[in-house]
Chain A
Amino acid sequence: MAALFEYDENREAASAAKVRALEALLIKKGVLGSDAVDAVLSHFESVAGPFNGARIVARAWLDSAYKRRLLEDTPKAIAELNFPGMNGAEGEHMKAVANSETVHNLVICTQCSCYPWPVLGLPPYWYKDPVFRARGVREPRAVLRELGVPIPAEKEVKVWDSSAQIRWFVIPERPANSEQLNEAQLAALVTPEAMMGVALVPSPQAI
């Protein structure tokens, strides 16, 4: 069984050669522009993705007035940051909720097209698993414990069900020992999972 996943250099090279030849042929035939691949992938790599959400969270950690505006009117506060990919309908119905000493937020999704792409990027493979979604509603503490995020009994767990109307994301708690970090350094600590509430942001000393 393990052999099915072993690295095979010859096959890898053959696939690479085939794709290079296909690209060259399509460019030669005038079907594909030479920058078409970069242009289409730039959407995922630099326009809409978790790097936007990480910047929003880092700004909220550093600027409490911004955080307040973000929680009150999320799309308007996000618009302040002038992200290039935030003009589409995907970003219009986003709503941020903040973790605190007393509340932990978990975002699930019971439909299929309700993920806040512009700030979180592509969901992990298990996110649309019906079992995860159902258990996230019924026993969020157990799900969080299994994901390595045990929540103390005295802390409230709120579950937010994203839909086409509202796409939730979480402002995680700022980690300890991060006082000396600037906005970019803070943003680098923030993962998509932390913004879904299924992970915590680690202290910079732990990385």
Chain B
Amino acid sequence: MFTRFEEYAATQMLGQPDSPPRSDGKLFFSEEWQRTVFGMALALSKQGHFEWVDFRQHLIASIAAWEQDACDGKARWDYYERYTMALIEVLEQCGVLEPGELERQMKPDEANK
């Protein structure tokens, strides 16, 4: 049906638990890092590093984990924080990243935040 990976990938999410924020027909990013992480996942899957459906399974599981947290002390909702976690997980699973590699690359003070 879709000849463009970008449209296939976004359409798979629409109406589903991992549907991305959007406004006026466009993807909605309130911060530049959100745009970056969304684009990275798309670009890496398009290149064939992982199947889009595999990334989405991590994302849906990450969202479900947030929803199942107890209300007391629950972290605020942040779609792109969940998205970032899912992307790191799928990159570790497919071997692009070694487990913990990102944390080791980050400066200790940032990694411990």
Binding site for B on A (CB under 8 A): 1, 3-6, 8, 10-26, 29, 31-33, 36-41, 43-45, 48-50, 88-90, 112-113, 115, 117, 120-125, 127-129, 164, 191-192
| Chain B residues with CB under 8 A of A4 | 74-77
Give the tally of cross-chain contacts (CB within 8 A). 149
Is A15 within 8 A of B33, CB to CB? Answer: yes
| A residues near B88, Cβ cutoff 8 Å | 22
Closest 4 CB pairs of A and B: A121-B25, A128-B15, A37-B39, A50-B25
Contacts A13-B113, A88-B3, A123-B25 known; list 19 others, CB within 8 Å. A5-B77, A8-B76, A11-B75, A16-B31, A18-B110, A20-B36, A21-B110, A22-B84, A38-B39, A39-B43, A40-B46, A43-B6, A43-B7, A50-B25, A112-B11, A117-B7, A122-B26, A123-B14, A125-B19
B75: chain A residues within 8 A (beta carbon): 4, 11
- The answer to whether A17 touches B25, judged by C-beta atoms less than 8 angstroms apart, is no
**A19-B84, A44-B10, A125-B22 given; A14·B110 CB < 8 A:** yes
Please report the C-alpha to C-alpha distance between residue A90 and residue B70 in the assembled complex, in whole angstroms: 43
- In whole angstroms, how far apart are the Cα atoms of A9 and B43 in the complex? 28
Contact of A21 among B14, B44, B71, B106 (CB under 8 A): B106
Complex: how many Å from CA A12 to CA B15?
Answer: 26
Chain B interfacial residues counted at CB < 8 A: 50
A31-B49, A88-B4, A90-B3 in contact; A41/B24 too (CB < 8 A)? no
